[in-house]
Amino acid sequence: MSTLLSQKDTFEVVRLCKKSSPEDVKLLLKSVQAASGDVKALQNKEPKLTNHVRTVADGFGIFGWVAQPIINDEWKEEVANAINFYGFKVLQLKQDADTVWQKAYIAVAKAFIDFVEDNKEATEWAGSGNVAEVLPQVQAAKSAKPVAAAGNLLSEIQEKTLSANLKHVEKNAYKKDPSSAPEIPQPKAPVAKAAPKEEVKRPPTKEFKSNFWYVQNYGKEVLKFEGEDVQMNYGWALIKCQDTTVVIDGKFKTIMLENCSNVKVILTNVMANMEVINCKKINVTIKESCPHISLERTQGIHIYLFPPAKGAKIHSTCSQSMVVHYPRVDATEDDEWLDIAIPETNVTHLKGDRLITEALEGME
């Protein structure tokens, strides 16, 4: 909320300054990037809210309007897709509170974008000042008076809260009048534990929404996406699939697997990244490219990298039994591939004032 309110400063700077340079934009977005980092750090404190936290962090893209030469449908769609990626996973919790929260967050983001688009006079560089000089002045213009007022109001609320409905009681009054002694709480009877609910098996669904293919609850089937079903700005989300094979033939943006087991994916060209979250027994084949692969709380994953895909970077968190398969340099088609396990154990030691962490390499 503070970042949203701080946009008032950005509007004021844009009004007072001349057309921006890349350095000016970076200066205006510095606080937004810092706030986004603070939000992302919250997922380490409360893993159950990871999807909520990432939805909020991805929503910070709405503040990138200041870097856009024009607010067009393409940019608005890109921002909406970023929010909906993890926001969809929030909706899958099927909880009323989570659903209301997600819809409210999208509504706030849309309202802000509509405001920027409808108030062009407030978002055009109309002045002659320099951002580096004007921004500190605008921020300083938030005089300490409103802050002090807020502080006084908080103190007043605290004082009223602490003094409300309080009754002075004389020390050891119950010795003089036994009827005034506080009641001793009686232990509550143990509550019988409810029998665990049987998991309801949901029907498989395949839905295309906001440039994303959502594939859920599939079993022993082979799904192939090709031709017009695969575009450069499309993404895939595979959720709670088991014993499923998914083939995506073409160039696309991103793919995510969550709560899947014994799933095999064969991918041609991933432009951005791949995420595997809380999965078991996963086989991934990358034929051409995937710059970044993220593994989180995953057990038993085999990644097959064809020669053009060997530049992939793999980030692993709380995961086990991770093996990368790839051919040697200058290997022929008849040569066997290498099978190298990603280290799961680190050794940390002090070197002077620095803390050094090194991975123990292994092989399967």
For residue 360, count CB atoms less than 10 angstroms from its CB and return exposed for 0-12, middle for 13-18, buried for 19 or more: exposed
Q: How far apart are CA 31 and CA 25, in angstroms?
A: 11
Question: Do 233 and 115 belong to one domain?
Answer: no
Mean pLDDT (the chain) is 80
From 140, 155, 190, give the residue that closes a domain. 140
Map tokens 């009686």 to a residue. 186
In terms of residues, how long is the chain? Answer: 364
Q: How far apart are CA 348 and CA 140, in angstroms?
A: 45
Bigger pLDDT: 206 vs 34: 206
Question: Do 213 and 358 belong to one domain?
Answer: yes
Please determine, for residue 153, whether its predicted confidence score (pLDDT) is greater than 70.
Answer: no
Buried b (16+ CB within 10 A) or exposed e, 116-131: beeeeeebebeeebeb
Question: Do 239 and 103 belong to one domain?
Answer: no
For residue 252, count CB atoms less than 10 angstroms from its CB and return exposed for 0-12, middle for 13-18, buried for 19 or more: buried
Question: Do 133 and 236 belong to one domain?
Answer: no
From 124, 140, 156, give the residue that closes a domain. 140
Q: Report the SS3 class of residue 323.
A: strand
According to DSSP, the β-strands at 245-258 and 280-289 are unpaired
Question: Do 126 and 222 belong to one domain?
Answer: no
Which pLDDT score, from 0 to 100, does residue 157 have? 42
Question: Do 33 and 123 belong to one domain?
Answer: yes
Question: Do 214 and 351 belong to one domain?
Answer: yes
162 within some domain: no
276 within some domain: yes
198 within some domain: no
Please determine, for residue 24, whether its predicted confidence score (pLDDT) is greater than 60.
Answer: yes
Q: What is the pLDDT of residues 86-97, one digit of tens each?
A: 887 887 777 888
Question: Do 225 and 106 belong to one domain?
Answer: no
337 within some domain: yes
pLDDT band with cut points at 50, 70 and 90 for residue 205? very high
Which pLDDT score, from 0 to 100, does residue 189 have? 65
**Taking a C-beta distance cutoff of 8 angstroms, is the pair 300, 320 a contact?**
yes
- Percent residues over pLDDT 90 in the chain: 35
Q: One-letter amino acid identity for 216?
A: Q
pTM: predicted TM-score of the whole model, two decimal places: 0.56
For the residues 164-180, what does the mean pLDDT come to? 56
According to DSSP, the β-strands at 261-277 and 235-239 are unpaired
176 within some domain: no
Q: CB-based contacts of 237: which residues, under 8 Å, 6+ apart?
A: 85, 88, 89, 212, 213, 214, 215, 255, 256, 258
DSSP character at residue 311: T
Q: Count the neighbouring beta carbons within 10 Å of the beta carbon of residue 352.
A: 6
What is the span of the domain harbouring residue 343? 205-363
CATH of the domain at 273: 2.160.20.70
Which pLDDT score, from 0 to 100, does residue 147 have? 43
From 116, 140, 164, give the residue that closes a domain. 140
Please determine, for residue 148, whether its predicted confidence score (pLDDT) is greater than 60.
Answer: no
175 within some domain: no
Question: Do 211 and 357 belong to one domain?
Answer: yes
CATH of the domain at 40: 1.25.40.330
Question: Do 238 and 353 belong to one domain?
Answer: yes
Q: What is the pLDDT of residues 207-246, one digit of tens each?
A: 998 899 999 999 999 999 999 999 999 999 999 999 999 9
Bigger pLDDT: 27 vs 159: 27
Which pLDDT score, from 0 to 100, does residue 195 have? 64
Map tokens 């057990």 to a residue. 299
161 within some domain: no
Question: Do 359 and 210 belong to one domain?
Answer: yes
According to DSSP, the β-strands at 222-225 and 245-258 are parallel
pLDDT band with cut points at 50, 70 and 90 for residue 144? very low
Map tokens 């064809």 to a residue. 306
For the residues 102-113, what does the mean pLDDT come to? 82
Q: What does 91-116 look like in DSSP terms, one character per residue?
A: HTT--HHHHHHHHHHHHHHHHHHHHH
186 within some domain: no
Please determine, for residue 127, whether its predicted confidence score (pLDDT) is greater than 50.
Answer: yes
Bigger pLDDT: 17 vs 338: 338
Q: CB-based contacts of 78: which residues, under 8 Å, 6+ apart?
A: 61
According to DSSP, the β-strands at 205-209 and 222-225 are unpaired
Question: Do 115 and 255 belong to one domain?
Answer: no
Domains identified in the chain, total number: 2
Q: Which two tokens stand for residue 204?
A: 């498989």
Q: What is the rounded radius of gyration, in angstroms, for the C-alpha atoms of the chain?
A: 28
Which pLDDT score, from 0 to 100, does residue 248 have? 96
